[in-house]
Structure 1
Amino acid sequence: MAAGRIVALIPAHNEADRIGAAIAALRAQSQKPDRIVVVADNCADATADIARRAGATVVESSGNRHKKAGALNQALDQVLHGLAGDDLVLVQDADTTLVPPFVASAVAAMGSDVGAVGGIFYGEAGGGLLGALQRIEFQRYAREIARRGYRADVLTGTATVFRVSVLRQVRQARLDGLIGGGTSYYSLASLTEDDEITKAVRTIGYRTVSPAGCRVVTEVMTTVPKLWHQRMRWQRGALENLRDYGWTRVTAPYFVRQALMGLSVLALALYLVFTAWMLARGRPDFSPFWIAVGLVFVAEKVVTARGAGLKSQLLAGTLAVELVYDLFQHAVYVRSLWDMARRREERWCAT
């Protein structure tokens, strides 16, 4: 589609260390946004000052108690007022940098039936072993998106471009009671506003895509507690969004995916129990068939980690370290289900 005006919104809470890089990456786009707006939400550092010096417009939230979603809703109320329906709004995290073709690729992908274009995220360098495991995970997720024909099942909060008319339709659908989450653009009832708005955009009849050129580099969690809080928020939010939307044509694949995740948790648990039982009985026999199966599994792990670099491929080939990481993610899944069953409120933690 021919691009109208493009406004970039960067919600930021105490992001003085990163906001400059995020703005610089927007300035370096092959197709630059017409305006960059930093939404300074309850900041106690120099985020707003740094953003102004970098040439961005700063909008400071007022009395916001709803974290990122609340800050974005306040900013969108102001920004969308002067935009046409075919104009575009790019919402990106302050801890994320966009590759130079991102905006141009998003504009090119914005067909008449596409409501929003999401980014494909990769992990930044650093973070030690934990960072490497996240980079491998993100690389595999990028391959999965490519295999699905670049369909976006989640409009990632790292960076997503919306058509203005679609954002207005989402808000109207909430006002009309067709979807929940409040009376504005982003849901105030969801722990994962990006997952929820994906379902909202698709529920009102639009496709969501993540083309190959829309790559972003984002922060990795550097400690286990931070990673735990992040993944609990993602998983619990995804489950609660499905509960709130119920079974529909749009949500059916998400329910299936969660069920398959549950089966993988059960399968790995049974495998570990069986292996422990075999070891307890004495030295197990290794048949050529099962050795071959294991080698195929190792090869798949190594190949799918290819884009993350040689060191990541070697790490993936060990299997053992990634097995621990898988167990960590399974623990997140089980704990999320348990907390939902007990109706335990998830506490938001900054990561």
Structure 2
Amino acid sequence: MLIPILTVVLGLGALVLLIPCATLGLEVLAAFSARSKDFMPQGGAIGDREAIGPVAVLIPAHNESVGIERTLAGLQPQLRPQDRLVVIADNCSDDTAQVATAAGAEVVERFNTSLRGKGYALDFGLNYLKSAPPSVVILMDADCDTPPGSLAQLAHHALTQGRPVQANYLIEQPPSQSLKGLISAFAIKVKNLVRPLGLRRLGAPCLLTGTGIALPWEVAIAVNVASGHIAEDMKWGLDLALAGHPPTFLASAKVTSRLPSDDQAAKTQRTRWEHGHLQIMKEYLPKLFSQGLRRGRLDLMALGLELSILPLSLLVMVWAAGTALTLVFALITQAWLPLAVASLAGLLLFSAVFLAWARFGRDDISLRQLVMIPLYILWKIPLYIAFLIRPEKQWIRTQRDK
């Protein structure tokens, strides 16, 4: 009697594991078949720009005096006279406000040590814009580079689609190019480019990934963004989707930021990203599936499936543990179905990783380096143990390279 019950339990567990692996495989396969036109500029030509009303670029900045001048210098040539470049100097103890002002930005300072985090800074900035609302708001981080034409494409796409638009946000490698850095940058590319591109080709919405986000003004103020959540961008995108404004992806509009070369800074950044993702999963997966079913909204169901994909290294860990457990069970009981389902999940998972590398990552990381992922996973184990013991809940700024 016990063996059939355990077979069912393990089989259901393997099936739960299969769902995110199959979702990842489908997204990567859709992205793998992308054509060159998916990366061609969409909108933003002179005629398109003239048809767009005022654009406000909003940059929350907490002690960013070291790198913000470079960010502003890349944005200013893309702005028209009627556009605004607004920096929210948020709880700064350095000269961020002075540097940004000298660089030509419109600066407003915010001081509130009890309400800390990017979400509160964004809310402050949106309220500041209400006296003269723009047609489109574009959110940028203070450490980003924006190639020419990206702002115009984002603004045009946000207005024509009438919904939030996520740019192609990627991470530049530091000069050291450590194995951890290379694999981390590849994992970010899979999350921020490959998966959203696949979702776009499948006609599904995407998650917001932190910077390079354009929204029509009415959409930008549709939900409350004031929050100290450490994954405020993902939370905001899901709140917008639930309110009827699911984000979409624009691969041709590119934004890059610099991966910290310091190991501790990189660990702090990864901890915030991944702990935030896991907290968002816990809070929003039930909402997305329940409201998707109740309201008949397939876009919410698609976002729920996308959100169910664990961070890549954690997904590999969970798959390895589940496969080992079902293997031992099969050898003892000769009940092979749970192992078969887990094996199928593994096939989809590793096929997805290989296809993503073959199409999008082979210029950044060699196959030899890619197969060293197990060493990278070992480095990440303490991060996930920390989530179980004491999850990160307070926003902590990542130390920038000088």
What is the TM-score of this pair, normalised by structure 1? 0.75
For 2:188, the aligned partner's letter is F
Pairwise CA distance, 1:31: 6.8
Q: Does 1:145 align with 2:196?
A: yes
For residue 184 of structure 2, what is the aligned residue in structure 1?
134
Pairwise CA distance, 1:21: 1.1
Separation of aligned partners in 1, 2:140 and 2:55: 13
Moved more, 69-78 or 297-306: 297-306
For residue 286 of structure 1, what is the aligned residue in structure 2?
none
Q: Percent identity?
A: 25
- 1:174-213 deviation per Cα after TM superposition (whole angstroms, max 9, x unaligned): xxxxxxxxxxx31415221101000011011112112112
Q: Does 1:82 align with 2:132?
A: yes
- 1:210-248 deviation per Cα after TM superposition (whole angstroms, max 9, x unaligned): 211221111213233323322222222223334334333
Pairwise CA distance, 1:319: 3.7
For residue 238 of structure 1, what is the aligned residue in structure 2?
277
1:321 to 363, 372, 375: 372
Distance 1:97 1:330, change over 3 A: same
Q: Contact (CA 8 Å) 1:305, 1:313: kept in 2 or not?
A: no
Between Structure 1 and Structure 2, the one with more helix by share is: 2
Separation of aligned partners in 2, 1:229 and 1:168: 30
For 1:247, the aligned partner's letter is K
Q: Does 1:101 align with 2:149?
A: yes
For 2:265, the aligned partner's letter is K
Distance 1:272 1:123, change over 3 A: farther
User: What is the SS of the residue equivalent to 1:94?
Assistant: coil
Q: Does 1:54 align with 2:94?
A: no
For residue 206 of structure 1, what is the aligned residue in structure 2?
245
For residue 62 of structure 2, what is the aligned residue in structure 1?
13
For residue 285 of structure 1, what is the aligned residue in structure 2?
none
Root-mean-square deviation (CA, aligned residues, Å) is 3.4
Q: How does 1:1-351 map to 2 (within 5 A)?
A: 2-29=51-78, 34-64=83-113, 65-83=115-133, 87-110=135-158, 114-126=162-174, 127-129=176-178, 130-141=180-191, 142-149=193-200, 153-170=206-223, 185-245=224-284, 246-248=286-288, 249=292, 250=300, 252-254=304-306, 256-258=308-310, 264-269=316-321, 301=354, 304=357, 307=360, 310=363, 312-314=364-366, 316-329=367-380, 332-333=383-384, 335-336=386-387, 338-339=388-389, 346-351=393-398
For 2:206, the aligned partner's letter is D
Pairwise CA distance, 1:302: 8.3
Separation of aligned partners in 1, 2:259 and 2:358: 17
For 2:69, the aligned partner's letter is G
Separation of aligned partners in 2, 1:331 and 1:255: 22
Unpaired runs of at least 5, structure 1: 171-184, 275-292
Moved more, 107-116 or 129-138: 107-116
Separation of aligned partners in 2, 1:218 and 1:100: 15
Separation of aligned partners in 2, 1:302 and 1:136: 12
User: How many residues end up aligned between the 2 structures?
Assistant: 310
Separation of aligned partners in 1, 2:393 and 2:220: 27
Q: Contact (CA 8 Å) 1:20, 1:50: kept in 2 or not?
A: yes
Unpaired runs of at least 5, structure 2: 1-47, 293-299, 327-345
What is the TM-score of this pair, normalised by structure 2? 0.67
Q: Contact (CA 8 Å) 2:122, 2:226: kept in 1 or not?
A: no
Instruction: Tell which has more relative contact order, 1 or 2 (C-alpha 8 A, sep 6+).
Output: 2
Q: Contact (CA 8 Å) 1:61, 1:75: kept in 2 or not?
A: no
Separation of aligned partners in 2, 1:58 and 1:299: 44
Distance 1:263 1:299, change over 3 A: closer
Pairwise CA distance, 1:121: 1.6
For 2:123, the aligned partner's letter is N
Separation of aligned partners in 2, 1:40 and 1:92: 13
Distance 1:228 1:268, change over 3 A: farther
Separation of aligned partners in 1, 2:312 and 2:62: 36
Pairwise CA distance, 1:307: 4.8
